[in-house]
Amino acid sequence: MLPGVALERDVPARMRDGTVLYADVYRPSSGGPFSVILMRLPYDKTQAQSLTYRHPAWYAARGYMVVVQDTRGRWRSEGEFYPFAHEAEDGYDTAAWAASLPRSNGRVGMYGFSYVGATQLQAALGRLPGLRTICPALTGSQYYEGWAYNGGAFALAFNASWATMLAMDDARRAGDGPATRRLNAAFLGAPGFYGHLPLSEYPPLKGSGYGGYFFDWLAHPSYDGYWRRWSVDEDYSRIAVPALHVGGWYDVFVGGTVRNFEGLRRSAGSAEARSAQKLLVCPWYHLPWTPLTGAADFGKEARNVVDGWQLRWFDQFLRDEDTGVLDAPATVFVMGENRWEDYGAWPPEGTEPRDYHLRSGGAANSRYGDGRLDEEPPGEEPPDVYTYDPLVPVASAGGHSCCFPVVAPMGPADQAAVEVLNGVLVYTSAPLQRDLTVLGEVTLTLHAATSAPDTDFTAKLCDVSPDGRSTNVQEGIVRARYRDSLSGPRPVPPGEVREYRLSLGPTAHTFRAGHSLRLQISSSDFPQWDRNLNTGGPPGRESAAEARVATQVVLHDRAHPSRLTLPVAPS
């Protein structure tokens, strides 16, 4: 069935606590010994993430033994599944087992994306000698900031749909037909449930007997010990292997992907590992990986190149061949120009921060207002005012959610329906006289006041073409109670002006001559993030009846210079 490849199904591996996990093993039909490439996933080993990667037989036909294992409590494997809980120990034990398989030469590499990137990073924490390299793709650096939460706001569409999908598979594994049918319908119809309040009674999962971890995520809205125990970015020196970090500019985890590259390049546990970190960022969202991403077609250069890079990477570190994969530490797709570019560092050397100040005559509401972005700092000018009603939130238009476009706002999208709302402040630059390339993290410094003891502020960077079409590039959020610390929330004194710093995440985007920069400011981006009910009450446990309308004031004068900061490449 697989020419030149021998497949052995359901090969058992016993973990240190006696739990048996099962894997499928693909070997070249003859020869050996072979280096092993390992994938550990909760999404069915028979599929092996072939929605994005080439089938394991493709790698086996090129001289590798490929091991694909169901993680603990998933599909064929024994035990109970709880996200992230067992991946460090099970990953270490599995890699050691894979290194000892018949016809293995003892060298192991790992690959996979999303949660399967997490299983690699967690396994690498143990420093198993036989684990020579990893290829974590489209994954985070921790599971609070950039995964379950962003700036203190719950990443609703992603986590609700993901938990429902995981619960559906748990029910199917248990042979619970009625629950499987209900959860499958709830997953495919997830957008119809996002509006339910309180979230602690989320209908698809409440009382289902499955997916209880979703409610644990809600019960830990701050960065505390629950999350810290799994955070890779708490100490990168624990990892000492070369790594190929693959990201997508519209992926939910792009910030974590870049952070892992930067952190390991700076602080990995050996000089060899620090010098062998590679960043590869494509223009995609979470999946699929194609030139057509949301409303944008990035052209033939944006085709899926990951398998080719991975094969060269494994040849370099498992076969000791010089394949040139480290000729440039960063290879990224520059959107707008739709081309690949190599850089000696990330962010690239020579980029300089450039401030674009929020300016208006006090009426920046909607694209038809008088808001503008200007390099000239403001003098004395009136603030902009809008109201935010949590029961009528601003709808997400594209974005960086996960994991399927049918259930979550993902990718570039036309912003017309958002920018006509008076509850959205819109600031637009004059048309650019020359190309402007942004390479690195985009940030916003916002001086604002609210009538509520807690609220959210959202920001979205857009590219406006000469015909007026506005397309999102990056976005961010801050929950006001977390303005100073993600671990120590504090209410906001109503009416007091505070400075908020929002990360809009990294990008590589060229705004072409004749285009304009645009910044949207609002207080909701739903359902990408949950709604702040403006009460200061316990997140996730309040009903719709408790929601309050907030009056928001954004200041941009000499004493309060609200500004967008872009890392701009030299002309």
d(CA 435, CA 570): 10
186-221 b/e (C-beta count within 10 Å ≥ 16 → b) = bbbebeebbeebbbbebebbeebebbebbbebbeeb
Question: Is residue 343 a contact partner of residue 328, using CB atoms and an 8 Å limit?
Answer: yes
- What percentage of the chain's residues is helix, strand, coil (to nearest 5)? 20, 30, 45
How many Cα neighbours within 13 Å face the side chain of 120? Answer: 34
Helix runs in 17-155, H state only: 56-60, 87-99, 115-124
> Which residues are CB-contacts of 500 (< 8 A; sequence separation ≥ 6)?
444, 445, 446, 447, 448, 457, 478, 480, 483
Dist. CA 28–CA 312, nearest whole Å: 18
The residue annotated as part of the active site, out of 77, 161, 245, 286, is 286
DSSP 448-511: EEESSSS-EEEEEEEEE-TT--EEEEEEEEEEGGGSS-SSS-----TT--EEEEEEEEEEEEEE
114 given a catalytic annotation: yes
Known active-site residue 251: yes
Residue 145 is given by DSSP the state B
Bridge partners of residue 449, in order along the sequence: 553
* Three-state DSSP class for residue 356: strand
How far, in Å, CA of 190 to CA of 185, rounded? Answer: 8
Quick check: 74 and 97 in contact, CB under 8 A?
Answer: no
Q: With H, G, I as helix, E, B as strand and everything else as coil, classify residue 363.
A: coil
d(CA 43, CA 476): 29
CA 377/CA 367 separation, integer angstroms? 21
User: Is the separation of the CB atoms in 77 and 119 below 8 Å?
Assistant: no
Of 35, 77, 104, 114, the catalytic one is 114
Among the listed residues 24, 93, 251, 454, the single catalytic one is 251
Active site residue 286: yes
Please name the amino acid found at residue 17. Answer: D
Residue 520 contacts residue 564 (beta carbons within 8 Å): no
Amino acid (1-letter code) at residue 289: W
Tokens 């872009």 map to which residue?
566
Residues recognised as catalytic: 114, 251, 286
